[in-house]
A and B are shown apart, each in its own frame.
Chain A
Amino acid sequence: MGYSGARGGLEAILAAEDLVRRARDHAPAPWASTEQITARFRLAVDRVMGEGGLYHEPTAAAALRQAEGDPLEASHLVRAHRSTLPRLAVSEPVDPDEMTVLRRIVPAFREPDGPQLLGRTTDYTGRLLEQPDGPPEPGTVQDRPARERSEEHRRPRRFLDLLRKLDLVADQRRGDDPEPVDITRKPARPPAPRSAVLASMARAETGGLVSLWYRSILGPDGDVHEVTLGEVRHGRVPLRVRHPHTGNPVTLGEFRVTEAEAIENLDGADEDRTRLDVGYGLCFGHNERKAIAMSNLDIANRRFGRKGPLEQLLLLTVDGLDSAGFLEHLKLPHYVTFRSIVERKQAMRVAAEAGEGPAERPADPAGKEC
């Protein structure tokens, strides 16, 4: 008969799980259905799809409900779910020029090709808190007849094309990154191709990426300077997969993405100072903050990524699951490692009493424990 060990830990875990379930799922309030969450918390759902790396609104909504509205926890649920799924096919590359735009803003031109399409935005709505007693009366919002939209309206030419026509864009196309790096299969470490850095940003925690972008502008080691937004758009793109038997691309459906192009002035010694550089951002769902930050950081990374810490920061520090997971692990027991630290403090004292150090004028430590 071997050692069986105590089981106190399991009881505590089950009790905690029970507490969560009761308070969350049986709260004295109406149940939040998946439809309610996707319809009323659209931007939270989109954010979870982007950070979770899985485009499926009902899955993201279920994760948000289970996570009690914490987008990072919801992204974790989505990603762990993703790990259980086999990979059945790989999609064809998406051509963003095929996007049916729902919203499109070109700040850099007064009259670009195609429309300035405001779409669904609260950019110009006063941020006044509404505190309604209940749901709005039906009929308070007038039905508008759908406007006839031309092909140009639905698929405007992109800003980058206009710049290219004016011969204002430095050509950054390179042949050394033909197949995008799948960072979920191949861990990207510096030095890494541009596609790996873009993929890392597309899955990044939105707040983390925006914070890094802002640090790049206002921080002491900034790499983003002349910030001009070329274009930001939100729309639907088709998803195609090659049919396993015929080998022909088949459209399975559409998904929404946010796309951004940012302009940066080129002024470096070895740069083409007569032209501009354009950076690119794309992420799942409607998340303009992330796409815009990504497009700016794309240029900064190309120009300065390896001269300083930026490439490593973009590849290794913007993933929400990584940073939050490491932070939260501090809550785990550490008394073995702590004992080891305390023992060395005691050994230092014994050494000092034995008359061998520490040094009278100590230098800073050469290296730290981590």
Chain B
Amino acid sequence: MTSTMDLVDELEREQGILDEGAKREIRRAVLTAVCVPGYQVPFGSREMPVARGWGSGGLQVTLAVIGPGDTVKVIDQGDDAGVNATNLRRMIASTTGCAESADTREATVIQTRHRIPEEKLGDEHVLVYQVPVPEPLRGVEKSVAECARMHAEDDYSKIWVSLYEDLVRNGVITRGSGYPVLVGGRFVMASSPIPRWDVPRLHQCEHLNLFGAGREKKIYAVPPHTDVRPLAFDDVPFEVEHAPGARCRLCGSDDVFLVEAGADGGYLCSDTEWCSRVRDRDADVAGHRERAPLHLLPDPRTRMAGAATIEPYVAPARVSGEQEWSLRVSGIGKVHGRGGAGAVPGTGPENGTAISPATGAIVAAWDVSFDVAPGEALGVIGESGSGKSTVLGCVIGDVDATAGQVHLAAVDGGRTDVLRLPADERRRLRIAEMAVVHQDPAAGLDLGVTAGGNIAERLTAAGWRGYHAIRRRAAELLDRVEVPLSRMDDPVRTFSGGMRQRVQIAKALATDPPVLLLDEPTTGLDASVAAGVLDLLRGLLAERDVAAVVVSHDFAVIEALTDRTVVMQLGRVVERGLTDQLFHDPHHPYTQRLVAAARR
């Protein structure tokens, strides 16, 4: 009878780098990756006999998919003979019994670092890439959890802003290798890093691409016949590497990826196999030339050519359904602390406190209702602590409401309570359905990004992909809010408080949202600056069909901007009516105090 020890001994005698269970696990991850192109599949990456960073991910994928009937080719920088490629090749061949070749035409599995072979690849090829950094968003977002959210929600505006800013700062997109690509119209993916020269080879290719990142424990794939588009603005072409007049010093090719030859100058093919075969006349040079991305060579004229042909901006048509209002807020309540609705009795103006005598919870707002029609502005006024910003927070989605509903006419004809929508859908509402101007510009802007870039953030989120159209729209908006166009390409950090607030307003209006929420928009500005911003807002509201909610502690602001007003005290609405009437004939003693304060 075979004992367990015999089995263990037998297993230990097997020459392998990975046990069979691990290979099965990796193949499962590969299958998932093929099913969801461009999505990074987590896997239980094993330690390999090569260091993490030396191709341990590619090696695991290769070992999992290769068999004795395969022929392996390994390249590093396009070179079969480099020490790293040589080392991996002998490791793969000696532990799997597969054949080795440096000839792409003979190979079935090609493990590569940083290149796609110049030779034509077909459905007989599996190309396995070694990936150091699988996360394309890491450059713009360091939090792993936040990157995962951005992928899940298809929220890629941050990386688009980085491309916009790159063009503004440098006149070209300066990203070198590992250029981010959009796979299957859905996932943004890091391209290995291969040079930009190789990126077009991924689009609708015939071979299977598998990407292994061992250190970061991710596998992803581009299956054959999949759309792979470099992230680039529609009107500024993606560019591959090129040096005018450069040719390989050995084979004379000018339609291949060339690398610097060394101290003596000149260039060499990075793909040593191709170079050698061109010299031996063993290469389909004409077919290769057709594949080469010669239509994507850098050309300063094409970058700016799109500026001449922009369609004028037309505000989106809004269908508001049968509702008369754009925004309806019904019975909103927020309790901080224990007790929920049970904490409400004994609080409110008539009791003189917001603190629940039963549970000690703070009833920040309760039973607050209002609606706002297109072209109308509603004021919410109260002292600080009266709950007005809490109510706005509930509408925006920053605060979880304890009770109540919020309806937007633009969402499902006003039938859906947006408070019940999942977090990602609520976040999406803030792109085009509902915009916010915060008291603190830093809450609504990225201060390190230019004024134009901040507006580009909203526009790219809404799907804008024309660089010149974004520039023109941003310029229009900045001009309208009276920010000098000479400051458009300066970071907002260098702006004064009033100017920052104007940029924030411009960004809020970028997509012509039907609902605009203004939270103390002029508080914190000098009186004269505040007056200017107030004038601007009055003009903007008058010329637009937007439904606005203005939250302020200052009756002067409310009076300047709004048609109707609700007055809040200790979390409740104590009076409501036309702003003019409230201002001239306040009934509630609290309203009278607020009016008196504004008249002083």
Known: A88-B8, A332-B76, A336-B115. A326 touches B276 (CB 8 A): no
Contact with A along B110-133 (1 / 0, CB 8 A): 000111000000000000000011
Check if B81 sits within 8 Å of A3, measured CB to CB: no
Is B531 close to A, CB under 8 A?
Answer: no
A365 to B449, CA, bound (A): 8
Nearest A residue (CB) for B60: A83
Nearest B residue (CB) for A326: B53
Check if A80 sits within 8 Å of B303, measured CB to CB: no
Known: A321-B47, A337-B193. A348 touches B52 (CB 8 A): no
B298 touches which of A83, A182, A322, A347 (Cβ 8 Å): A347
Is A342 close to B, CB under 8 A?
Answer: yes
Check if B21 sits within 8 Å of A86, measured CB to CB: yes
Is B77 close to A, CB under 8 A?
Answer: yes
Known: A189-B42, A332-B113, A350-B298. A344 touches B215 (CB 8 A): no
Check if B177 sits within 8 Å of A337, measured CB to CB: yes
Is B304 close to A, CB under 8 A?
Answer: yes
List residues of A (11-28) whose CB comes within 8 Å of B's CBs.
12-13
Check if A325 sits within 8 Å of B83, measured CB to CB: no
Contact with B along A346-370 (1 / 0, CB 8 A): 1110111010111111111111111
Check if B139 sits within 8 Å of A369, measured CB to CB: yes
List residues of B (118-176) whose CB comes within 8 Å of A's CBs.
132-133, 138-140, 143-145, 148, 158-159, 161-162, 164-176
A52 to B135, CA, bound (A): 27
List residues of B (411-465) whose CB comes within 8 Å of A's CBs.
446, 448-450, 453
Is A111 close to B, CB under 8 A?
Answer: no
A340 touches which of B113, B132, B176, B273 (Cβ 8 Å): B176
B591: which A residues are within 8 A, CB to CB? none
Is B289 close to A, CB under 8 A?
Answer: no
Nearest B residue (CB) for A358: B170
A8 to B86, CA, bound (A): 9
Check if B145 sits within 8 Å of A5, measured CB to CB: no
A13 touches which of B86, B114, B148 (Cβ 8 Å): B86
Check if A325 sits within 8 Å of B51, measured CB to CB: yes
A85: which B residues are within 8 A, CB to CB? 11-12, 19
Check if A358 sits within 8 Å of B115, measured CB to CB: no
A366 touches which of B105, B106, B448 (Cβ 8 Å): B448
A335 to B513, CA, bound (A): 49
Check if B449 sits within 8 Å of A363, measured CB to CB: yes
Contact with A along B255-266 (1 / 0, CB 8 A): 001111000000
Min CB distance B292 to A, Å, is 16
Check if B21 sits within 8 Å of A87, measured CB to CB: yes
Known: A189-B42, A350-B300, A354-B300. A340 touches B196 (CB 8 A): yes
Is B496 close to A, CB under 8 A?
Answer: no
Is B9 close to A, CB under 8 A?
Answer: no
A127 to B446, CA, bound (A): 54
Check if B103 sits within 8 Å of A370, measured CB to CB: no
B176: which A residues are within 8 A, CB to CB? 337, 340-341, 343-344, 369
A329 touches which of B53, B148, B178 (Cβ 8 Å): B53
B115: which A residues are within 8 A, CB to CB? 336
Nearest A residue (CB) for B132: A329
Check if B17 sits within 8 Å of A83, measured CB to CB: yes
Known: A321-B47, A339-B260, A356-B303. A363 touches B448 (CB 8 A): yes
Is A184 close to B, CB under 8 A?
Answer: yes
Query: Number of contacting residues on A, CB 8 A?
Result: 76
Contact with A along B1-33 (1 / 0, CB 8 A): 000100010011000111111100100000000
B277: which A residues are within 8 A, CB to CB? 3
A365 to B168, CA, bound (A): 10
Check if A3 sits within 8 Å of B44, measured CB to CB: no
Is A56 close to B, CB under 8 A?
Answer: no
Check if A84 sits within 8 Å of B18, measured CB to CB: yes
Which of A185, A186, A340, A341 has the most CB atoms of chain B within a 10 A radius of its CB?
Answer: A340
Min CB distance A341 to B, Å, is 4
Min CB distance B129 to A, Å, is 13
B270: which A residues are within 8 A, CB to CB? 335-336, 339
Contact with A along B85-108 (1 / 0, CB 8 A): 111001000000000011101100
Known: A6-B81, A12-B83. A368 touches B243 (CB 8 A): no
Is A324 close to B, CB under 8 A?
Answer: yes
Is A30 close to B, CB under 8 A?
Answer: no
Check if A326 sits within 8 Å of B215, measured CB to CB: yes
Nearest A residue (CB) for B449: A366
Is A190 close to B, CB under 8 A?
Answer: yes
Is B472 close to A, CB under 8 A?
Answer: no
B82: which A residues are within 8 A, CB to CB? 9, 333
Check if B158 sits within 8 Å of A367, measured CB to CB: yes
A88 to B11, CA, bound (A): 11
Check if A325 sits within 8 Å of B158, measured CB to CB: no
Check if A312 sits within 8 Å of B170, measured CB to CB: no
B169 touches which of A88, A332, A358 (Cβ 8 Å): A358
List residues of B (221-275) whose CB comes within 8 Å of A's CBs.
239, 241-243, 257-260, 270, 272-273
Q: A335-B77, A348-B174, A369-B176 are in contact. List 11 more A-B contacts (CB 8 A).
A: A87-B19, A182-B44, A185-B25, A190-B143, A332-B54, A333-B82, A347-B298, A356-B171, A357-B168, A363-B490, A367-B158
Q: Nearest 7 A-B pairs (CB), nearest first?
A: A357-B171, A329-B53, A325-B52, A2-B103, A5-B102, A367-B162, A367-B140
The 8 sampled A-B contact pairs (Cβ below 8 Å) are A80-B48, A86-B20, A244-B4, A322-B215, A337-B176, A351-B170, A357-B167, A358-B169
- Which residue numbers of A lie inside 8 Å of B, CB to CB? 2-10, 12-13, 76, 79-80, 82-88, 182, 184-187, 189-191, 244, 309, 312, 316, 321-322, 324-329, 332-337, 339-348, 350-352, 354, 356-370
